[in-house]
């Protein structure tokens, strides 16, 4: 066993010097992820954080774990018809399942790389303990969104979500840091956000404001947090309306929902006038059950 570990360590050192070896390891990671149903996968060299200089230094991979050379980002899709029901118990359960799956994937990939002799570390899917903790410090210690951008999986839209060509913003990410340099994936140069304003118009808290001078909008994180607190109390967190309404993403073709934005834009007003509006019947049905409809849920039984 000891001999095996020694050999693996020397393989890891060799991989540092031999680009083919690194491609071999990258191929192993790709196979590992493909076999486990990962929907999106990208490789970001840690120097991209320094080159872009967009993320404060203490939030960069090497500040969090100094041996890090590459960040491997895995994404799982959030199926559009479930996201469309938000806020609902079905959307909440999907969100929880995706997060659990991502943490399991990151844990498994970290151990797989460690077994091969490549020291690794992962940052969990959600880096906060509770809404109270978020109110005290409304940030995670590491951003998977930025990691996914540097891994070439998408670009950041007006809503501050990462938009991907495949699923728009309807995808969740987790990141595994490894101490080995792996061949990087190219970043996406062209902005995917078309500045349609749907996210800003549909946000119930008006937390997103479009900017003329840039793609990424102004974002009121406390207003968004207020919504999250309300939905947590009603047991149908998270909101995710900005991810629902975004027209970007090939997933809309799969579900035949390319032109649904008009329906989303009318939704709040239509339901205000007629809560039984037949156009939204399936969504309102799913929103009725399994959640608390008062202002605050009773203490957990
Ligand atoms: S999650 Fe909801 S409240 Fe927050 S920005 Fe998106 S639409 Fe607005
Ligand atoms: S909804 Fe429109 S403006 Fe908002 S992120 Fe998506 S494409 Fe950009």
> With a threshold of 0.75, does the pTM exceed it?
yes
Q: Residue 66 in contact with residue 37, Cβ under 8 Å?
A: no
Mutational test site, ligand 1, from 159, 163, 217, 221, max ligand atoms within 8 Å of CB = 159
Tokens representing residue 162 in the block: 């990462």
Q: Residue 60 in contact with residue 146, Cβ under 8 Å?
A: no
Residues 6+ apart with CB under 8 A from 20: none
Q: Which is higher by pLDDT, 29 or 298?
A: 29
DSSP 22-87: HHHHHHHHHHHHHHTT-SEEEEEETHHHHHH--S-GGGSHHHHSTT--EEEEEEEE--HHHHTT-S
180 lines ligand 2 (CB under 6 A): no
Ligand 1 atom at shortest distance from the alpha carbon of 161: 6
* Nearest CA residue ID for atom 3, ligand 2: 195
Residues 6+ apart with CB under 8 A from 252: 80, 168, 258, 260
pLDDT at residue 4 is higher than 60: no
200 lines ligand 1 (CB under 6 A): no
Model confidence at 66, in pLDDT bands (50, 70, 90)?
very high
pLDDT at residue 53 is higher than 60: yes
User: Residue 21: its pLDDT value, please?
Assistant: 79
Q: What is the mean pLDDT of the chain?
A: 93
pLDDT at residue 9 is higher than 80: no
pLDDT digit string, tens, across residues 183-222: 999 999 999 999 999 999 999 999 999 999 999 999 999 9
242 CA to middle of ligand 2, Å? 8
Q: Residue 243 belongs to what H/E stretch?
A: helix 241-245
Ligand 1 atom at shortest distance from the alpha carbon of 227: 3
pLDDT at residue 3 is higher than 70: no
42 CA to middle of ligand 1, Å? 26
Give the count of beta carbons closer than 10 Å to the beta carbon of residue 2. Answer: 6
pLDDT at residue 280 is higher than 50: yes
Model confidence at 14, in pLDDT bands (50, 70, 90)?
low
Which-ligand-closest: CA of 197? 2
Q: Residue 38 in contact with residue 74, Cβ under 8 Å?
A: yes
pLDDT digit string, tens, across residues 150-183: 999 999 999 999 999 999 999 999 999 999 999 9
Share of the chain above pLDDT 90, in %: 83
205 lines ligand 1 (CB under 6 A): yes
């Amino acid at each position: 066993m000891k001999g095996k570990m020694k050999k693996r360590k020397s393989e890891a050192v060799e991989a540092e010097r031999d680009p083919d070896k690194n491609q071999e390891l990258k191929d192993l990671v790709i196979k590992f992820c493909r076999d486990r149903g990962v929907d999106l996968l990208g490789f970001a060299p840690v120097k991209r954080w320094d080159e872009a200089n967009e993320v404060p230094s203490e939030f960069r991979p090497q500040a969090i774990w100094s041996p890090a050379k590459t960040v491997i980002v895995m994404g799982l899709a959030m199926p559009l018809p479930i996201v469309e029901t938000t806020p609902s118990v079905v959307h909440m359960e999907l969100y929880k399942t995706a997060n659990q799956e991502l943490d399991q994937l990151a844990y498994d990939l970290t151990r797989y790389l460690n077994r091969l002799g490549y020291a690794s570390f992962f940052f969990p899917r959600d880096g906060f303990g509770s809404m109270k903790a978020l109110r005290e410090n409304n940030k995670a210690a590491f951003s998977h969104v930025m990691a996914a951008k540097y891994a070439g999986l998408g670009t950041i839209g007006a809503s501050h979500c990462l938009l991907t060509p495949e699923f728009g913003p309807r995808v969740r990410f987790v990141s595994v840091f490894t101490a080995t340099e792996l061949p990087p994936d190219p970043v996406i140069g062209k902005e995917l956000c078309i500045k349609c304003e749907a996210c800003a118009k549909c946000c119930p808290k008006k937390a997103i404001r479009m900017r003329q001078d840039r793609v990424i909008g102004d974002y009121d994180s406390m207003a968004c947090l207020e919504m999250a607190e309300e939905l947590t109390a009603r047991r149908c967190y998270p909101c995710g309306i900005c991810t629902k309404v975004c027209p970007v993403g090939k997933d809309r073709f799969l579900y035949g929902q390319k032109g649904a934005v008009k329906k989303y834009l009318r939704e709040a007003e239509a339901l205000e006038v007629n809560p039984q509006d037949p156009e939204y019947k399936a969504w309102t049905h799913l929103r009725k059950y399994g959640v608390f409809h008062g202002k605050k849920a009773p203490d957990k039984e």
